[in-house]
Structure 1
Amino acid sequence: MLKVIYILLCILGTFLPYSQFLPFVLEHGFDIRLFFEQLFANRISGFFGMDVIISSLVLWVFVFWEGTRLKMQNLWVYIASNLLVGVSLGLPLFLLMRQFQLEQQTDTAIS
């Protein structure tokens, strides 16, 4: 059941942010200056921007620390997911694959 929840969160975590990002890109292209200008247009949007940036850094540390501890492969995928979509995809995707790894290690230990 937990894996199903993570999969649903990956889907939501991709489609909801992109429902806002794609119209921006279609209207303005990949205008990084305008992107950051609008991201930090006021204190509330700046609050959310800073929160996401710090959350991304925390995710990267967690991915490398926990992923290395559990001997997970291809840890770069979760960082790429974070950079291409956001924490909303990177975190549930990592947690999903971590769950698979934990279950595999449990099955191996029992056998």
Structure 2
Amino acid sequence: MKNIYLALCVLGLVVPYICFAPWLGSNGLAIDLLLSQAFSSPVSAFAWADVALSGLALLAFVAHEQRRRQVRGVWLVCVGLFTVGVSFALPLYLYLRTRDTSA
């Protein structure tokens, strides 16, 4: 499973940025434009709300688990969540947790 989590982590890093890079190249870091486009339709608002709530659930899960088992490098999960997203942070946490339990 460790290798599957690592592969999903790589995919979770690469795929979102492949989708986002063209927009970023055209618009730069225009946060106001990003937010207005993100919530421009009910479907996109649904998707963003789903991702945001998934991120909060992941933070709660990681915080709870960290009290039970001290996973090394867990700070990377928080950085990854806010710089890439859940698609990267969740498999990263699962990889780190599996790495520590199989060592």
- The 5 Å alignment of 1:56-67 reads 56-67=55-66
Percent identity at matched positions? 36
Distance in 2 (alpha carbons) for counterparts of 1:22 and 1:67: 33
How far does residue 22 in structure 1 lie from its aligned partner after superposition? 1.3
Against the structure 1 CA distance between its residues 7 and 74, is the aligned structure 2 distance closer, same or farther, given a 3 Å change threshold?
Answer: closer
1:81 maps to amino acid: G
Map 1:64-79 onto structure 2 (within 5 A): 64-79=63-78
The answer for unaligned runs of 5 or more in structure 1 is 105-111
Q: What is the CA distance between 1:73 and its match in structure 2?
A: 2.9
Do the aligned partners of 1:64 and 1:75 also contact (CA within 8 Å) in 2? no
Aligned equivalents of 1:44, 1:58: Cα separation in 2: 21
Asked if the contact 1:13–1:88 (Cα under 8 Å) also holds between the matched residues in 2, the reply is yes
Asked which structure has the greater RCO (Cα within 8 Å, sep 6+), the reply is 2
Aligned length: 103
1:93 corresponding residue in structure 2: 92
User: 1:1-111 counterparts in 2 under 5 A?
Assistant: 2-104=1-103
Q: What is the distance in 1 between the residues matched to 2:6 and 2:37?
A: 31
5+ residue gaps, structure 2: none
Contact residue 67 and residue 98 of structure 1 kept, 8 A: no
Question: TM-score if structure 2 supplies the norm length?
Answer: 0.94
Alignment root-mean-square deviation, CA: 1.0
